[in-house]
């Protein structure tokens, strides 16, 4: 059960029991402090309560309510009445009571209590948020580091800050626009002078006519501008504006952050970009001294790392990265202070767990003090996703290789005389491709094509495949269909490269005398030209049902004699280099 601290003023013991019993039904354990007559001015000096109930027998109920309001003490007070005193309860609500409950009907008790607790909680959170916002508004010197395009004006509408992101977005340098007024800051966006969103704080009525759909989030105005031409392209901009305060909390102007959300609008479900506002940064932000001492952090840091503000200020950046060499971290800080740096690393939280973070760090001068500001994003989920994706890809590649080997085995099962032929051809083709310096992805495709280049023979009768005599013309024509059959089998398998076309073309020849399409020269894929040479070498080096093996030397002679006519000269030269290094026989015998 949830504990609930209650102050009971001017009520009897029976009232206390009724309240406790009804609240218990709603899952609350009431801890009741009982007082027959309570001085409202003593509330601030005593322990805190969650809620107070006041009976109409307390003569000073109205006085208590007035003092609660005057001292801004957020303790909700509910009047406990009966049917004869309901009108008096209503009068007390006019002077500050949150509600009243009839003793004869306590059904509303739990819902009223929960409503008031939620209201108090919401008020506290709003107060904390406003406090954060106010502190961040004082940091005008930090504007230049913000990734969002941001500018600020004084109360006369003159530009007092124009950060680098704003320069990049508009093409207008800060040196050109600083000190200028009369809505000149609108020119890069609209081609004319007119109010922007921040002008709501300078001339409310005028600016709101330009932003009829503006929304308000506390002290911040939010608007989205569509169909705007910026630097020659149509964009969608997300604008947020608020008042600008000095260190004393006095309004000195207004500030506006502008973000190009064109891509986010087009693919909002796929794009997760960080959202930084000057007055409430959502990413973790550290301020560090050059020696690594943490001098300030934002509320997001407290939430992510689990430390209190006081604990953070007693830490250094080295405490968050205990497993890394101190010299490495010092070098990174020096580079960040010099030119800015972005990198990824692991950070340790208070509970000992680790998070993988993306860090942008840069040196700034704030109040004549040299500091490093680091904007940090937890990308642990992204890291885990990448690792999981890598594992999935690895598993898929293993599955594809297994499938390829299974298809090759089926072919060799039906043609026992060529058992191992496809594997040897694949090994030889890969060796030639490496000798020629082909990229890894082409070599991978060539290997798969080599393993499967005769898969089309599964469609041929076994008696033809194993015939111990020379084939007839009709049988030869039938065998030649294996290239097309192989292509049809493989074409719908989603390999990363066009394996099917390599298989289709591996019997094509440079002079057009090959089959099945009679392609010539460069119209034949390079991988198919390599596979053709590997196939010839292996076929002539091994026995067939209808002939003994001519041998490796004779195969080399065949390549040399028909180099440039049937076979690609570069491929033949690469094969000959392997032969000269006495590696060819070893590859074929594998």
Burial state string for 306-325 with b = 16 or more CB within 10 A and e = fewer than 16: ebeeeebeebebeebbeeee
At residue 199, φ and ψ (nearest 5 deg) are -70, -10
User: Please, what are the domains in the chain?
Assistant: 2-132 (3.40.50.2300), 138-266 (3.30.450.20), 288-378 (3.30.450.20), 386-589 (1.10.3210.10)
Least confident of 232-236, 340-344, 505-509, 530-534: 232-236
The answer to whether the peptide bond before residue 516 is cis (omega within 30 degrees of 0) is: yes
Degrees to nearest 5, angle at CA 358 with 356 and 362: 140
Confidence of residue 439 (pLDDT cuts 50, 70, 90): very high
Mean of pLDDT values over 39-67:
67
> Cβ(115)–Cβ(92) under 8 Å?
no
Mean of pLDDT values over 127-147:
60
C-alpha distance from residue 447 to each of 178, 278, 291, 421, 537 (Å):
63, 56, 55, 13, 16
What's residue 512's pLDDT? 94
Query: 554-577, pLDDT tens digit by residue?
Result: 888 889 999 999 999 999 999 999
> What's the mean per-residue pLDDT of the chain?
81
Query: 219-240, pLDDT tens digit by residue?
Result: 899 988 887 888 778 888 999 9
pTM: 0.37
**260 phi-psi bin (left φ>0, alpha ψ -120 to 50, beta other):** beta
- If you average pLDDT over each of 240-249, 448-457, 499-508, which comes out highest? 499-508
Nearest to 111 by CA among 123, 93, 127, 98: 98
The helix (H) or strand (E) run that includes residue 526 is helix 526-541
Question: Cα(430)–Cα(588) distance, rounded to whole angstroms?
Answer: 12
What's residue 436's pLDDT? 93
Question: Cα(289)–Cα(570) distance, rounded to whole angstroms?
Answer: 62
The helix (H) or strand (E) run that includes residue 176 is helix 174-177
> Cβ(101)–Cβ(108) under 8 Å?
yes
Question: Cα(18)–Cα(25) distance, rounded to whole angstroms?
Answer: 11
| Burial group, residue 493, by CB count within 10 angstroms (0-12, 13-18, 19+) | middle
At residue 125, φ and ψ (nearest 5 deg) are -60, -40
At residue 92, φ and ψ (nearest 5 deg) are -65, -30
Confidence of residue 79 (pLDDT cuts 50, 70, 90): confident
């Amino acid at each position: 059960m949830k504990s609930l601290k209650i102050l009971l003023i001017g009520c009897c013991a029976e009232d206390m029991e009724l309240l406790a019993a009804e609240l218990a039904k709603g899952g609350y354990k009431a801890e009741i402090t009982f007082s027959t007559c309570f001085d409202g001015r003593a509330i601030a000096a005593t322990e805190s309560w969650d809620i107070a109930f006041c009976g109409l027998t307390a003569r000073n109920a109205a006085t208590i309510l007035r003092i609660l309001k005057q001292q801004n003490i957020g303790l909700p007070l509910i009047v406990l009445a009966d049917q004869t005193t309901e009108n008096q309860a209503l009068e007390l609500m006019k002077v500050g009571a949150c509600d009243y409950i009839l003793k004869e009907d306590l059904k509303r008790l739990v819902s009223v209590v929960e409503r008031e607790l939620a209201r108090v909680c919401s008020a506290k959170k709003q107060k904390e948020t406003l406090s954060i916002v106010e502190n961040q508004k004082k940091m005008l010197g930090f504007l230049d580091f913000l990734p969002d395009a941001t500018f600020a004006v004084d109360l006369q509408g003159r530009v007092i800050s124009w950060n680098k992101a704003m320069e990049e977005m508009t093409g207008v340098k800060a040196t050109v626009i600083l000190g200028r007024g009369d809505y000149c800051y609108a020119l890069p966006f609209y081609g004319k002078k007119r109010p922007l969103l921040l002008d709501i704080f300078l001339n409310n009525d005028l600016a709101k006519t330009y932003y009829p759909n503006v929304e308000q989030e506390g002290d911040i105005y939010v608007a989205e501008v569509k169909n705007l031409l910026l630097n020659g392209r149509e964009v969608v901009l997300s604008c947020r504006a608020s008042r600008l305060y000095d260190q004393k909390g006095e309004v000195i102007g207004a500030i506006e952050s502008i973000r190009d959300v064109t891509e986010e609008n087009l693919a909002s479900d796929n794009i997760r970009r960080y959202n930084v506002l000057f007055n409430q940064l959502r990413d973790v932000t550290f301020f560090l001294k050059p020696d690594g001492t943490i001098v300030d952090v934002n509320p997001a840091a407290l939430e992510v790392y689990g430390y209190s503000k006081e604990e953070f200020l007693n830490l250094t950046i080295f405490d968050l990265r205990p497993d890394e060499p101190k010299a490495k971290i010092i070098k990174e800080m020096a580079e960040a202070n010099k030119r800015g740096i972005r990198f990824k690393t692991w950070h340790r939280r208070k509970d000992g767990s680790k998070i993988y973070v993306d860090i942008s760090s840069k040196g700034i001068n704030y109040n004549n003090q040299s500091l490093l500001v680091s904007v940090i994003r937890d990308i642990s989920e992204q890291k885990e996703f990448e690792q999981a994706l890598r594992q999935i890809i690895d598993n898929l590649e293993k599955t594809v290789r297994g499938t390829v080997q299974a298809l090759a085995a089926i072919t060799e099962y039906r043609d026992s005389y060529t058992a191992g032929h496809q594997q040897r051809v694949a090994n030889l083709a890969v060796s030639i491709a490496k000798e020629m310096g082909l990229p890894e992805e082409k070599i991978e495709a060539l290997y798969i094509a080599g393993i499967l280049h005769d898969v089309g023979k599964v469609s041929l009768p076994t008696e033809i495949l194993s015939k111990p005599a020379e084939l007839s013309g009709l049988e030869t024509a039938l065998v030649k269909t294996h290239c097309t059959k192989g292509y049809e089998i493989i074409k719908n398998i989603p390999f990363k490269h066009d394996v099917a076309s390599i298989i289709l073309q591996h019997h094509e020849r440079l002079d057009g005398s090959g089959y099945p399409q009679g392609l010539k020269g460069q119209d034949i894929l390079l991988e198919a030209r390599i596979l053709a040479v590997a196939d010839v070498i292996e076929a002539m080096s091994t026995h067939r049902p209808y002939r003994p093996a001519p041998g490796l030397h004779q195969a080399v002679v065949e390549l040399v004699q028909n180099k440039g006519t049937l076979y690609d000269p570069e491929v033949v030269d690469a094969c000959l280099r392997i032969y000269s290094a006495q590696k060819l026989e070893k590859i074929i015998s594998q």
